[in-house]
Chain A
Amino acid sequence: MNIESWPISKLSNLSTPFNSTFGDPPKLLEDSIQKIGVIHPPLLLTEKTGQPILISGKRRIEIAKKINPHQTLWVKSYTREELTNLQAFHLNLYENLSIRKFNAIEKSNVLALLTNLGISQESLQKEYLSLLELPLKEETPQQYFYLQKLDEETKQLVSLGILQVDSALILLKLDFKDRSCLTSLIQNLRLGVNPQKILIRLAWDIFKKGNIPPHELFESQTMKNILEEESWSTGQKWASIEYELRKLRYPRLSQMEEEFKNIKKEMKLPPTITLQSPPYFESPDYALQLRFRNLEDYQEKLAILQQMGNNKNMEKLFKLTTEYE
């Protein structure tokens, strides 16, 4: 290995076959180079043909070039006799891993590069998943390979952590138009991890069930009205969208929930008495909660409950879990 001085214009043109970085460089790196220049020299590998390639340092070179395109940089230069491709890639990988965390797309790039370098699935599982802080599951490498197929825009969302990996994997099954429709919604409504999972899962299931692609789903007047309602917050808009999607995905369940809500409304229970339906109307047991502050209050509430027993709405309530017509 030699230490050499290279003009930055030459360095920036070198190919970078071991590069796995994705996304903009951290601000801290820019600030640091701006202030005191490149501290860690980029690594170079010269092929037997004399052709040099860049092992690591692409971002440092780009930033330094922006600051002064005429400067020279010190580099560590290896020869092909000194390094195999895998060793060169390891230099890149460990150099990066020692100073920062990789985003999901970079992890995907690492696994893809390792596979191209001939690393077996078994070795990926045993040696690299924990290194990349990925779940130690059989399906993990395959899932992360799939991320390679994402378009740049969606990759960007995944790399920034705006879109979760499992959500992105479902999006991959959709065409570009549908994918864009859903990623725009996620961004516009600023949906967190769980809501975006719910959105994508519901949209996907509705597509599979009724063959309604997401872009058509969100072109419906109902959805447009929700999205264009200026007086609503993004949270309110999401709640309404979720409600509409659930109605399409679970029509019978939504209908039962609606009926239950109406029956409860007709019962006119005081706020201190709460009636709850069984989860998913699976168990036959309804739940009733009573709040009271003294004996008098307690007796009053009991009288209300007594009257409830004679209320016709109670019959409707019990029919809800047994009738199907």
Chain B
Amino acid sequence: MSKIYYPKHLFIEESVREAELAQTVLKNLTHLTPQYFEGQPEDFFSNISMKDGKEVLVLAEKRGRFLKPCPGSKDSLCCGYFILESQSNCNYDCTYCILQTYLNSPPLIVYTNLNDMFAELNGMFETSDKIQFRIGTGELSDSLSLDHITEFSKKLVPFFAQTQRACVELKTKSTQIENLKGLDHRRRTIVSWSLNTPRMARKEELKAASIEERLEAARLCQEWGYPLSFHLEPLLYYPEWEEDYHALIQNLFKVIHPESIAWISIGGLRLIDGLKDFAEERFPKSSFLYEELIPGTDGKLRYLKVIRLEMYRKISGWIRECGGKVPMYLCMESSDLWRKGLGYDFEHADKADEYLGENVFR
């Protein structure tokens, strides 16, 4: 049974002391005495370690934009996804996590100026000529693992329920779904789980919920009528990968109906510059770092292309066998690999975006 996360320290930026979200957090963390600070959290907490940072929750004002297009990767076919930066960093300790070296600041930061965020979203929806927006909060953080503290979903789900051409994806490795029950979501919130094989989840996704727990939480959200999505990322290559991933996909479709699924992403392990050394130092028992990882055209380390191709073909084949026409995509891979690995590709990101939105918007 995975443990529910509670931070050991709470820091609040002076200027957001009265914010509604800050009050909610204080209500849910009555055992902590908050400490108030002035200035930007990135400067204030830059000297603490990654490990210690996970014990610290910071409430702060977001400066700059909340919404950004997913940066994708050089030479890859993008899917037109948008990232909503409502939080930064994650309480879990996945050995392969890019955030270990990507973020400047180790603590978990929750941004409290939600009115600014919603105003920015509305402005974008009103002025953009894009047909649809697929937006997610799970790129720089886990979308739901702090939801029992922030109750953020209670604000976000109703907001997106009102929109005509936007949906939000809440991507998690947690089971923190209680707040989603009973919300009027109008199928504009996609609840999403990152999945890996139970063997790899136990070994590499430290502190996260087990795969069984994640699937049970997904089943409940299915019952509550939410569209679901799954991310088979990062695929890890190890001797038993074939039987393990095959079993994972079979188990997924035993619990989840294909019609409930908005999309499934597949993506091989990617390591940005410096992450291999960093992860090796922090997690000396991890063995995934020693497979055939080679630098790609974007400088990230990936499995050799033939290995990725083999994994993509087999895994997408098993998904087709069990899940029929459920939309699939490859994350941060070239058109060439989409074509050879999935059997199709798209001319550009908008087309991929439309295809992936089919189960949500139509």
Contacts and interface: CB of A to CB of B under 8 A. Distances in A.
Interface in A108-125: 122
A216 B289 CA distance: 22
B290 A208 contact: yes
B273 to A, nearest CB: 15
Interface stretch (B167-175, B208-216, B247-255, B305-313): B305-313
Question: Most chain-B Cβ atoms within 10 A of its Cβ — which of A173, A208, A282, A321?
Answer: A282
Given A282-B297, A283-B297, A322-B340, A256 B306 contact: yes
Contacts, number: 51
B307 A252 contact: yes
B304 interface: yes
A256 B304 CA distance: 10
Contact of A252 (B287, B290, B304): B304
A140 to B, nearest CB: 14
B295 interface: yes
B336 A253 contact: no
24 contacts: A173-B284, A209-B290, A250-B292, A250-B294, A251-B292, A252-B292, A252-B307, A253-B292, A253-B294, A253-B304, A280-B296, A280-B304, A281-B304, A281-B306, A282-B296, A282-B305, A284-B336, A321-B305, A321-B306, A322-B309, A322-B340, A323-B306, A324-B306, A324-B310
Given A280-B296, A282-B297, A324-B310, 20 more contacts: A122-B47, A205-B290, A208-B289, A208-B290, A209-B291, A249-B292, A252-B292, A252-B306, A253-B294, A256-B304, A256-B306, A280-B304, A281-B305, A281-B306, A282-B294, A282-B296, A283-B75, A322-B306, A322-B309, A324-B306
B194 to A, nearest CB: 25
B160 to A, nearest CB: 38
A122 B48 CA distance: 12
Interface string B85-115: 0000000000000000000000000000000
Main secondary structure of the interface of B (DSSP, over half): mixed
Contacts of A252: 292, 304, 306-307
Interface string A244-259: 0000011111001000
Contacts of B47: 122, 138
A280 B294 contact: yes
Contacts of B296: 280, 282
A249 to B, nearest CB: 8
Nearest to A281: B305
Nearest to A207: B290
Contacts of B340: 322
